[in-house]
Structure 1
Amino acid sequence: MIATHSNKAIDSRMKQEPIRARIGVSNPAIFGSHLLPLTYFAAPFSAADIRHEREQAAEANAQQLSLDEIGIELPDIEDGRIKQLLVPYLNDYAAVTPVPSLAVMKALNEEKLASHHWHCLQPVGAAASNHGDPIAAKRGFIKLQHNKCTGDMYSGRFHKSFVLFTAYAQNINMSACYVSMGLPALTGIGGAVHVLERETGLALSFGFGIKNIENLTHASRGANSHRTALKHQKAMPMVVSNEVTSNAEIAIIIACDDADKAQAIIAACDKLQRLCGGSLFEQQARFVSNNDLPPYFWYAQFDDFESDDWRGYITAINQRSAKLVQSGYALLEQPRPKKLARNYPHAWAEPVFSLIKLGSPPDFFRLEHVDGNCLMWTSTGE
C-alpha cells in the first residue's frame, strides 16, 4: 500500500494497515507534515510487497496526485497492541493513536542538523523494509533531532504564586515519536498534569523544568522468559523496547494564587507516581508565593515563532538553539467507535511539534483546541 503514515514505522511486527490522509492544520506555529509537500511512500504490510508499492508510490508522486484522486485510507484497528492514549475531547475523552508521518521522518533523515542522533529501529536490513520507505532507505535507521540542554539554568524572582512539585524521575521517555530526543514531550508532561486535574477538579496551567539528565538509553533489554524456551535460552538478552529513556531531576510549577486550592493540588501531587512512562521518586510539593525559582532548564515558548515552511524551523534549531518537542496531536479523522478501541471513540492522529527555548523564565502551558481537530499544549501567555 502507498501511504502518508504507518504504525509499522514504529514496530514492524504490527499487523496494522498503513494510513493515507492529511492533517487539516494551517497554523504556522505548529510543525507537522502540512509544512511539507504531499508525498506518498511505500508502506508494505510485508517485505514481499515493497517493490510493487514503491512503483505505485513513484507513479503517484510523479503525477502529483491529490488525496481526492488517490483516495483516503483510514483503517479500523486491526492490531490490539497499538497505543491508545485517552485525551480530553469535546467535554469527554477520545482514544488517540499517534502515527508517525513518513514525510517528516524522510525530511529529517535528509536534513543537515547541527545536533542529531542516528537511532536504530531494525538492525537487519531485509526486515527494515517492513517499516516503510524512509526507514528502509537508511537500512533501519532514523535521524532524531537531539535536544541538548546548553547554557545556564534559570533561577530568579518569579512574580507569581504557584505550587512547586519536584521529583527524581527514572526511565522517563526522552523521545517524541521518532522525530526528536533529549527532552520529555509536552504531551507526556501534560498527561501527568491532567491526572492532577481529574483529582482536584481544577483546570491547571503548568510549567516544566529539568536538570541533571543522565546518559540516554536507546533500548532496554529483558530476558527471554518464554515458558517453552530452553533453560540456557532464557538468559539470552533480547531487545524489548527501543524508546529513548533517561533519569533526571524534574520540576513542575502549577499556577495557583489560592491557598485552599493549593492544598488540594499538593494532596494530588503526593499521589503522582508516573511521568512520561517513567517512575517518580523523592516527590515534594509546596505552595510558593512570589518567591525565587530553583535552578532548572525551564521550558518557554520560542519567541512567538511562526514559519510557513520547513526551512524556518531548521534555521531556528541550527542557529538559534531552539528545541523541537512534541506538543500535541492533529487528528487525521473525527473520533468514531471502532472495534478494539478503549471504550471511547477512536481517531488516528499525527504527532505535531513546537519550538521551545530553555533556561528562560518558564511559561505556563495548557491544553487547547487549535485549528479544529488539533489538540495542543500551548503557552497561556501568563
Structure 2
Amino acid sequence: MTGSDRAAVVAGLGSWVPPTVVTNDDLARHLDTSDEWISSRTGIRRRHVIDPGGSTGDLAVEAGRRALKSAGEERADIVVVATSTPDRPCPATAPEVADRLGLGGVGAFDIAAVCTGFVYALGTAAGFVQAGFARSVLVIGADTFSTILNPADRTTRAIFGDGAGAVYLRAGAATEPGALKGLHLGSDGGQSDLIQVAAGGSRQRSTGLPAAAEATYFTMEGRPVFAEAVRHMASSVTTTADAAGWAVEDIDKVVLHQANARILAAVAERIDVPLERFPANIERVGNTVAASIPLALADASADGELLPGQRVVLGGFGGGLTWGSVALVWPDITAA
C-alpha cells in the first residue's frame, strides 16, 4: 500500500458516561432555574456527572476498553486523549490511561482543544497512520466539566455533563468504508477569552498572587460563542464535504459537537441540510465537550440512525477558539 493509498480507518467505537444522573429538576432545587427554562434554551433535560473521587481518566479507560472490544483488538500503537479536564495539570492523562488498558509502553499523549478536541485528535492520529508511523491508534475524547463549573452558575451547570467516547483507528485503504478524509481545522486565538478558565495557568500563576475564586471556574460568553459556532461549523462542514468530493446535499449525516440544540438547527439552516440528518443526544447527556462527538456517534449507531455506507461529516467548535471537521463513509461496526 503506497502512502497516497494508505488511510486511517475507523474500526471500533466505544462510549461511557458515569451512572449518576442530574436532571433539570435536580438543578432547580438548588438554583434559580427550571426544566422549562433550561430545555427551551438548550434542548438539555439531563446530564451525567462523576462521583466524588472520580476522574476524566476513569471515563477514558472505560470508553477506550469498549472501543478496543468493538474493534476486536487488544493493542494499539498510540493512545491519544482529547481533554481539557485532565486528571492533573502534569503529567498528561493519556499515559496512565494506556497503562490501565494494558497498553503500557506505547506512545500516549493529550490534546487540548476543548470541544473540538476529538476532531483535532482524529486528525493527529490519522497523520501518524497515513505516514506509516503507526498501524493503529486509540483516540479517546473525555471530559469532566462538572469539576470546573461554578456551583452557583445556573447557565454553565445546566449545559455541561461528563462522559467519554473513543474510536479505534487502523491502517487501511483510502477507498474503504471508515477511511477518514477531507480533514479541516481552524482557530482564532484573538477570541480566546470567550471560552476559558482564567486561573491555574502560567499567566495567572506567574503573578505570585492568589487567584480569585471566580477565576478558577469555567466561563463562556454565550451570545458571541453561539454566533461563532454556527458560522465556523457551517463553513467547516462545507469545506470538508468539498475536500471529500461530496456535494453538501449528498451528506447523509452531520454529527456535530452537541453544544446546544439551537446551534444544531442554525447550522442545518445555514448549510441547507434537513435537521433530520443531524443526530442529537444532547437532551440526555448535555454538552460533554471532547466526548461529545463520539458519544453522539455511539448513540446514533445504537438507535439505528447511523448506518453502514452513509456519508458522514463530523464537526466541532470550542475554546481557543478552535473548529474542525472530517468526513468518512460509515463502516459496518457495532458500538460497545
TM over 0.5: no
> TM tier, shorter chain?
under 0.3
Which structure is larger by alpha-carbon Rg, 1 or 2? 1
Q: Greater share of strand residues, 1 or 2?
A: 1
